Amino acid sequence: MTTHPDELAGLTGLFSDQERAIADSVRALTTREVEPHVADWFERGEIDDPRGLMRKLGALGLLGMHLDGYGCAGTTATEYGVACLELEACDSGLRSMVSVEGSLAMFAIWKWASEEEKQRWLPGMAAGELIGCFGLTEPDHGSDPANMRTRARRDGDDWIIDGRKMWITNGSLADVAVIWAQTDDGVRGFAVPTETAGFRANTIKHKMSLRASVTAELVLDGVRVPDSAAFPEVRGLRGPLSCLSEARYGIVWGAMGAARTALECAQRYSVEREQFGRPIGGFQLTQQKLADMTLEYTKGVLLAVHLGRLKDAGALRPEQVSLGKLNNVREAIDICRTARTILGANGISLEYPVIRHANNLESVLTYEGTVEMHTLILGQKLTGQSAFQ
Protein backbone atom coordinates (compact mmCIF):
# COMPACT_ATOMS: atom_id res chain seq x y z
CA MET A 1 0.00 0.00 0.00
CA THR A 2 1.38 3.40 -0.98
CA THR A 3 1.24 6.58 1.12
CA HIS A 4 0.65 9.99 -0.45
CA PRO A 5 3.48 12.48 0.22
CA ASP A 6 1.06 14.83 2.02
CA GLU A 7 0.01 12.01 4.34
CA LEU A 8 3.57 11.05 5.24
CA ALA A 9 4.17 14.27 7.19
CA GLY A 10 0.50 14.97 7.93
CA LEU A 11 0.53 18.17 5.86
CA THR A 12 -3.24 18.33 5.42
CA GLY A 13 -3.57 18.78 9.18
CA LEU A 14 -1.87 22.17 8.86
CA PHE A 15 -4.88 23.67 7.10
CA SER A 16 -8.27 24.87 8.28
CA ASP A 17 -11.52 23.57 6.86
CA GLN A 18 -11.85 26.76 4.81
CA GLU A 19 -8.35 26.42 3.40
CA ARG A 20 -9.00 22.81 2.42
CA ALA A 21 -12.32 23.80 0.85
CA ILE A 22 -10.57 26.39 -1.31
CA ALA A 23 -8.00 23.81 -2.37
CA ASP A 24 -10.77 21.40 -3.32
CA SER A 25 -12.65 24.05 -5.31
CA VAL A 26 -9.57 25.10 -7.27
CA ARG A 27 -8.62 21.48 -7.94
CA ALA A 28 -12.13 20.76 -9.21
CA LEU A 29 -11.94 23.74 -11.58
CA THR A 30 -8.53 22.80 -12.98
CA THR A 31 -9.52 19.14 -13.32
CA ARG A 32 -12.61 20.09 -15.28
CA GLU A 33 -11.47 23.09 -17.34
CA VAL A 34 -7.70 22.87 -17.81
CA GLU A 35 -6.12 19.47 -17.22
CA PRO A 36 -7.82 17.76 -20.19
CA HIS A 37 -6.38 20.41 -22.52
CA VAL A 38 -3.18 21.78 -20.99
CA ALA A 39 -0.72 19.35 -22.61
CA ASP A 40 -2.20 20.19 -26.01
CA TRP A 41 -2.04 23.92 -25.24
CA PHE A 42 1.59 23.51 -24.20
CA GLU A 43 2.42 21.59 -27.38
CA ARG A 44 0.68 24.16 -29.62
CA GLY A 45 1.92 27.13 -27.62
CA GLU A 46 -1.53 28.70 -27.28
CA ILE A 47 -4.56 28.59 -25.00
CA ASP A 48 -8.05 28.01 -26.33
CA ASP A 49 -10.29 30.92 -25.28
CA PRO A 50 -8.05 32.50 -22.63
CA ARG A 51 -10.57 35.26 -21.91
CA GLY A 52 -13.25 32.64 -21.24
CA LEU A 53 -10.84 30.86 -18.90
CA MET A 54 -10.16 34.11 -17.06
CA ARG A 55 -13.89 34.63 -16.55
CA LYS A 56 -14.17 31.15 -15.04
CA LEU A 57 -11.29 31.93 -12.68
CA GLY A 58 -13.02 35.18 -11.75
CA ALA A 59 -16.34 33.43 -11.15
CA LEU A 60 -14.63 31.23 -8.56
CA GLY A 61 -13.27 34.35 -6.85
CA LEU A 62 -9.59 33.65 -7.59
CA LEU A 63 -8.63 37.00 -9.15
CA GLY A 64 -7.30 39.44 -6.58
CA MET A 65 -8.75 37.07 -4.00
CA HIS A 66 -6.56 38.36 -1.16
CA LEU A 67 -7.62 41.99 -1.73
CA ASP A 68 -10.53 43.72 0.01
CA GLY A 69 -13.40 45.50 -1.71
CA TYR A 70 -14.13 46.19 -5.38
CA GLY A 71 -15.61 42.74 -5.89
CA CYS A 72 -12.55 40.92 -4.51
CA ALA A 73 -13.00 37.93 -2.22
CA GLY A 74 -10.94 39.29 0.68
CA THR A 75 -9.42 35.94 1.65
CA THR A 76 -6.43 35.42 3.91
CA ALA A 77 -2.93 35.22 2.51
CA THR A 78 -2.74 31.53 3.38
CA GLU A 79 -5.99 30.84 1.52
CA TYR A 80 -4.55 32.64 -1.50
CA GLY A 81 -1.38 30.57 -1.18
CA VAL A 82 -3.34 27.32 -1.12
CA ALA A 83 -5.10 28.42 -4.33
CA CYS A 84 -1.74 29.17 -5.98
CA LEU A 85 -0.46 25.71 -5.04
CA GLU A 86 -3.46 24.04 -6.66
CA LEU A 87 -3.30 26.25 -9.78
CA GLU A 88 0.37 25.47 -10.37
CA ALA A 89 -0.19 21.79 -9.63
CA CYS A 90 -2.07 22.00 -12.93
CA ASP A 91 0.33 24.32 -14.80
CA SER A 92 2.66 27.20 -13.97
CA GLY A 93 1.18 29.21 -16.82
CA LEU A 94 -2.26 29.04 -15.22
CA ARG A 95 -0.94 30.25 -11.88
CA SER A 96 0.97 33.01 -13.72
CA MET A 97 -2.24 34.25 -15.34
CA VAL A 98 -3.86 34.52 -11.92
CA SER A 99 -0.78 36.00 -10.21
CA VAL A 100 -0.26 38.70 -12.81
CA GLU A 101 -3.94 39.63 -12.81
CA GLY A 102 -4.28 39.69 -9.03
CA SER A 103 -0.91 40.16 -7.35
CA LEU A 104 0.66 42.49 -9.90
CA ALA A 105 -1.88 44.43 -11.99
CA MET A 106 -4.79 44.45 -9.52
CA PHE A 107 -2.60 44.89 -6.46
CA ALA A 108 -0.79 47.84 -8.06
CA ILE A 109 -4.08 49.59 -8.83
CA TRP A 110 -5.61 48.62 -5.46
CA LYS A 111 -2.56 49.86 -3.54
CA TRP A 112 -1.42 52.88 -5.50
CA ALA A 113 -4.04 54.18 -7.95
CA SER A 114 -6.64 56.87 -7.34
CA GLU A 115 -10.12 55.89 -6.20
CA GLU A 116 -11.41 56.78 -9.66
CA GLU A 117 -9.04 54.29 -11.28
CA LYS A 118 -9.81 51.61 -8.69
CA GLN A 119 -13.50 51.89 -9.44
CA ARG A 120 -12.82 51.91 -13.17
CA TRP A 121 -10.76 48.73 -13.30
CA LEU A 122 -10.89 46.51 -10.22
CA PRO A 123 -14.48 45.18 -10.24
CA GLY A 124 -14.17 44.03 -13.86
CA MET A 125 -10.75 42.53 -13.22
CA ALA A 126 -11.98 40.62 -10.18
CA ALA A 127 -14.74 39.12 -12.33
CA GLY A 128 -12.31 38.22 -15.11
CA GLU A 129 -14.19 40.49 -17.53
CA LEU A 130 -11.18 42.80 -17.76
CA ILE A 131 -7.58 41.56 -17.94
CA GLY A 132 -4.51 43.36 -16.69
CA CYS A 133 -0.77 43.06 -17.20
CA PHE A 134 2.25 44.52 -15.42
CA GLY A 135 4.97 46.31 -17.38
CA LEU A 136 8.26 46.57 -15.49
CA THR A 137 10.85 44.35 -17.20
CA GLU A 138 12.48 45.78 -20.32
CA PRO A 139 14.54 44.21 -23.12
CA ASP A 140 17.77 45.51 -21.56
CA HIS A 141 16.74 45.87 -17.91
CA GLY A 142 15.33 42.96 -15.94
CA SER A 143 17.08 42.68 -12.59
CA ASP A 144 18.04 46.38 -12.72
CA PRO A 145 14.72 48.24 -12.95
CA ALA A 146 16.24 51.46 -11.60
CA ASN A 147 17.81 51.98 -15.03
CA MET A 148 14.66 51.38 -17.06
CA ARG A 149 14.47 53.38 -20.28
CA THR A 150 10.71 53.76 -20.56
CA ARG A 151 9.95 57.41 -19.91
CA ALA A 152 6.84 59.45 -19.17
CA ARG A 153 6.86 63.23 -19.68
CA ARG A 154 4.33 65.91 -18.94
CA ASP A 155 2.41 67.55 -21.77
CA GLY A 156 -0.12 69.96 -20.36
CA ASP A 157 -2.57 67.99 -18.21
CA ASP A 158 -1.50 64.68 -19.81
CA TRP A 159 1.43 62.31 -19.75
CA ILE A 160 3.16 60.93 -22.84
CA ILE A 161 4.85 57.57 -22.41
CA ASP A 162 7.53 56.06 -24.68
CA GLY A 163 9.31 52.76 -24.19
CA ARG A 164 9.23 48.98 -24.40
CA LYS A 165 8.46 46.26 -21.89
CA MET A 166 9.40 42.60 -22.36
CA TRP A 167 8.24 39.18 -21.18
CA ILE A 168 4.87 40.51 -20.08
CA THR A 169 2.37 37.80 -19.06
CA ASN A 170 -1.17 38.50 -20.30
CA GLY A 171 0.28 41.34 -22.38
CA SER A 172 -1.61 40.77 -25.64
CA LEU A 173 -4.83 39.91 -23.76
CA ALA A 174 -4.84 42.89 -21.45
CA ASP A 175 -7.40 45.69 -21.30
CA VAL A 176 -5.18 47.69 -18.94
CA ALA A 177 -1.41 47.70 -18.54
CA VAL A 178 0.29 48.89 -15.37
CA ILE A 179 3.34 50.66 -16.78
CA TRP A 180 6.29 51.83 -14.71
CA ALA A 181 8.31 54.65 -16.24
CA GLN A 182 11.02 57.15 -15.44
CA THR A 183 9.80 60.72 -14.91
CA ASP A 184 11.41 63.95 -13.76
CA ASP A 185 10.03 63.05 -10.35
CA GLY A 186 11.40 59.48 -10.22
CA VAL A 187 9.83 56.17 -11.25
CA ARG A 188 6.04 56.38 -11.42
CA GLY A 189 3.23 53.99 -12.26
CA PHE A 190 0.41 54.44 -14.77
CA ALA A 191 -2.77 52.50 -15.52
CA VAL A 192 -2.73 52.55 -19.33
CA PRO A 193 -5.78 51.37 -21.31
CA THR A 194 -4.38 49.13 -24.02
CA GLU A 195 -6.72 50.61 -26.62
CA THR A 196 -4.84 53.93 -26.33
CA ALA A 197 -3.25 55.14 -29.57
CA GLY A 198 0.45 54.25 -29.77
CA PHE A 199 0.15 51.17 -27.54
CA ARG A 200 0.64 47.74 -29.03
CA ALA A 201 1.41 44.27 -27.72
CA ASN A 202 3.34 41.71 -29.75
CA THR A 203 2.84 38.11 -28.67
CA ILE A 204 6.14 36.30 -28.06
CA LYS A 205 6.43 32.95 -29.84
CA HIS A 206 9.06 30.19 -29.86
CA LYS A 207 9.05 29.76 -26.07
CA MET A 208 10.06 26.40 -24.65
CA SER A 209 8.62 27.23 -21.24
CA LEU A 210 5.23 28.57 -20.04
CA ARG A 211 3.83 27.68 -23.43
CA ALA A 212 0.29 27.47 -22.04
CA SER A 213 0.50 31.16 -21.16
CA VAL A 214 0.32 34.41 -23.13
CA THR A 215 3.57 36.41 -23.12
CA ALA A 216 4.12 39.65 -24.99
CA GLU A 217 6.36 42.60 -25.73
CA LEU A 218 4.69 45.95 -25.04
CA VAL A 219 5.57 48.91 -27.23
CA LEU A 220 4.54 52.42 -26.18
CA ASP A 221 5.07 55.02 -28.87
CA GLY A 222 3.86 58.42 -27.78
CA VAL A 223 1.07 56.95 -25.64
CA ARG A 224 -0.96 59.83 -24.19
CA VAL A 225 -2.83 59.30 -20.92
CA PRO A 226 -4.53 61.81 -18.58
CA ASP A 227 -3.01 62.70 -15.25
CA SER A 228 -5.70 60.57 -13.57
CA ALA A 229 -3.97 57.46 -14.98
CA ALA A 230 -0.83 58.19 -12.93
CA PHE A 231 -0.53 56.69 -9.46
CA PRO A 232 -0.76 59.85 -7.38
CA GLU A 233 1.53 59.33 -4.41
CA VAL A 234 4.11 56.57 -4.86
CA ARG A 235 7.53 57.50 -6.25
CA GLY A 236 10.62 55.42 -6.94
CA LEU A 237 10.99 51.66 -6.87
CA ARG A 238 8.90 51.26 -3.72
CA GLY A 239 5.80 50.96 -5.90
CA PRO A 240 6.83 48.17 -8.27
CA LEU A 241 8.83 46.30 -5.63
CA SER A 242 5.78 46.14 -3.34
CA CYS A 243 3.90 44.44 -6.17
CA LEU A 244 6.75 42.01 -6.87
CA SER A 245 6.76 40.93 -3.23
CA GLU A 246 3.07 40.02 -3.57
CA ALA A 247 3.72 37.96 -6.69
CA ARG A 248 6.77 36.26 -5.20
CA TYR A 249 4.70 35.15 -2.24
CA GLY A 250 2.33 33.30 -4.58
CA ILE A 251 5.28 31.62 -6.29
CA VAL A 252 6.46 30.23 -2.93
CA TRP A 253 3.24 28.22 -2.84
CA GLY A 254 2.81 27.59 -6.54
CA ALA A 255 6.19 25.95 -7.02
CA MET A 256 5.23 23.31 -4.49
CA GLY A 257 2.15 22.53 -6.57
CA ALA A 258 4.30 21.75 -9.59
CA ALA A 259 6.59 19.68 -7.38
CA ARG A 260 3.67 17.73 -5.93
CA THR A 261 2.33 16.79 -9.34
CA ALA A 262 5.72 15.56 -10.52
CA LEU A 263 6.25 13.63 -7.29
CA GLU A 264 2.79 12.03 -7.45
CA CYS A 265 3.41 11.02 -11.06
CA ALA A 266 6.79 9.47 -10.26
CA GLN A 267 5.36 7.62 -7.26
CA ARG A 268 2.53 6.10 -9.32
CA TYR A 269 4.87 5.21 -12.14
CA SER A 270 7.30 3.50 -9.77
CA VAL A 271 4.70 0.95 -8.65
CA GLU A 272 3.28 0.37 -12.14
CA ARG A 273 6.47 0.12 -14.20
CA GLU A 274 8.28 -3.20 -14.05
CA GLN A 275 11.89 -3.92 -14.88
CA PHE A 276 13.87 -7.06 -14.10
CA GLY A 277 10.66 -8.79 -13.02
CA ARG A 278 9.48 -6.31 -10.37
CA PRO A 279 8.15 -2.76 -10.00
CA ILE A 280 10.97 -0.21 -10.13
CA GLY A 281 9.64 1.21 -6.85
CA GLY A 282 11.02 -1.91 -5.19
CA PHE A 283 14.62 -0.95 -5.95
CA GLN A 284 16.67 0.95 -3.40
CA LEU A 285 17.85 3.74 -5.72
CA THR A 286 14.29 4.55 -6.80
CA GLN A 287 13.14 4.60 -3.19
CA GLN A 288 15.98 6.96 -2.32
CA LYS A 289 14.84 9.36 -5.05
CA LEU A 290 11.23 9.24 -3.87
CA ALA A 291 12.24 9.74 -0.25
CA ASP A 292 14.50 12.70 -1.07
CA MET A 293 11.83 14.32 -3.26
CA THR A 294 9.20 13.89 -0.56
CA LEU A 295 11.54 15.37 2.05
CA GLU A 296 12.19 18.52 0.01
CA TYR A 297 8.53 18.86 -0.96
CA THR A 298 7.49 18.56 2.68
CA LYS A 299 9.99 21.21 3.79
CA GLY A 300 8.85 23.52 0.99
CA VAL A 301 5.19 23.27 2.01
CA LEU A 302 6.08 23.83 5.65
CA LEU A 303 8.01 26.97 4.66
CA ALA A 304 5.10 28.22 2.55
CA VAL A 305 2.65 27.69 5.41
CA HIS A 306 4.95 29.47 7.84
CA LEU A 307 5.31 32.47 5.52
CA GLY A 308 1.55 32.49 4.95
CA ARG A 309 0.86 32.64 8.68
CA LEU A 310 3.40 35.46 9.01
CA LYS A 311 1.73 37.38 6.20
CA ASP A 312 -1.68 36.92 7.76
CA ALA A 313 -0.25 38.34 11.00
CA GLY A 314 1.14 41.36 9.13
CA ALA A 315 4.70 40.33 9.99
CA LEU A 316 6.08 39.02 6.67
CA ARG A 317 9.22 40.84 5.47
CA PRO A 318 10.47 41.00 1.84
CA GLU A 319 13.64 39.05 2.61
CA GLN A 320 11.52 36.23 4.02
CA VAL A 321 9.63 36.08 0.72
CA SER A 322 13.01 35.88 -1.03
CA LEU A 323 13.95 32.97 1.22
CA GLY A 324 10.80 31.13 0.20
CA LYS A 325 11.03 31.92 -3.49
CA LEU A 326 14.70 30.93 -3.71
CA ASN A 327 14.27 27.64 -1.85
CA ASN A 328 10.95 26.44 -3.17
CA VAL A 329 11.50 27.07 -6.86
CA ARG A 330 15.00 25.63 -6.76
CA GLU A 331 13.81 22.51 -4.96
CA ALA A 332 10.74 22.16 -7.19
CA ILE A 333 12.92 22.09 -10.30
CA ASP A 334 15.13 19.45 -8.73
CA ILE A 335 12.08 17.36 -7.81
CA CYS A 336 10.79 17.55 -11.38
CA ARG A 337 14.16 16.59 -12.82
CA THR A 338 14.48 13.65 -10.45
CA ALA A 339 10.94 12.55 -11.22
CA ARG A 340 11.85 12.61 -14.89
CA THR A 341 14.64 10.10 -14.26
CA ILE A 342 12.20 7.72 -12.59
CA LEU A 343 9.97 7.86 -15.67
CA GLY A 344 12.97 7.26 -17.94
CA ALA A 345 12.25 7.98 -21.59
CA ASN A 346 8.55 8.45 -20.79
CA GLY A 347 9.59 11.40 -18.66
CA ILE A 348 10.08 13.59 -21.74
CA SER A 349 6.62 12.83 -23.14
CA LEU A 350 3.70 15.22 -22.74
CA GLU A 351 1.59 12.17 -21.96
CA TYR A 352 2.98 12.74 -18.48
CA PRO A 353 3.09 16.16 -16.74
CA VAL A 354 6.68 16.01 -15.51
CA ILE A 355 8.65 17.56 -18.39
CA ARG A 356 6.02 20.29 -18.81
CA HIS A 357 6.39 21.28 -15.17
CA ALA A 358 10.18 21.09 -15.36
CA ASN A 359 10.26 23.35 -18.41
CA ASN A 360 7.81 25.81 -16.86
CA LEU A 361 9.83 26.09 -13.68
CA GLU A 362 12.82 27.29 -15.67
CA SER A 363 10.82 30.49 -16.23
CA VAL A 364 9.56 30.61 -12.65
CA LEU A 365 13.19 30.40 -11.48
CA THR A 366 13.93 33.60 -13.39
CA TYR A 367 10.87 35.83 -13.13
CA GLU A 368 10.04 37.89 -10.05
CA GLY A 369 13.74 37.87 -9.17
CA THR A 370 16.49 35.53 -10.31
CA VAL A 371 18.35 33.09 -8.07
CA GLU A 372 21.23 35.56 -8.00
CA MET A 373 19.05 38.48 -6.87
CA HIS A 374 17.36 36.56 -4.07
CA THR A 375 20.70 35.13 -2.96
CA LEU A 376 22.12 38.63 -2.63
CA ILE A 377 19.03 39.88 -0.81
CA LEU A 378 19.58 37.16 1.78
CA GLY A 379 23.33 37.75 1.83
CA GLN A 380 22.85 41.45 2.53
CA LYS A 381 20.49 40.69 5.41
CA LEU A 382 22.90 38.14 6.86
CA THR A 383 26.06 40.28 6.60
CA GLY A 384 24.84 43.86 6.46
CA GLN A 385 26.87 44.29 3.27
CA SER A 386 25.44 44.98 -0.18
CA ALA A 387 27.03 42.90 -2.96
CA PHE A 388 24.68 43.88 -5.78
CA GLN A 389 27.33 46.00 -7.50
Q: Are 112 and 231 in contact (CB under 8 A)?
A: yes
- Give the separation between CA 123 and CA 130, rounded to whole angstroms: 9
Nearest CA among 68, 144, 148, 53 for reference residue 102: 68
- Inter-residue contact 336 to 354 (CB < 8 Å): yes
C-alpha 294: how far from chain center: 23
Phi/psi of residue 149, nearest 5 degrees: -100, -15
8-state DSSP, 231 = -
Residue 114 per-residue DSSP state = -
**Residues 6 or more apart in contact with residue 137 via CB below 8 angstroms:** 145, 165, 166, 167, 168
Q: Could you give the residue numbers annotated as active site?
A: 368
Q: What angle do CA 202, 95, 236 make, to 5 degrees?
A: 65
Q: How many CB atoms lie within 10 A of CB 36?
A: 10
Asked if 185 and 230 count as a contact pair (C-beta separation under 8 A), the reply is: no
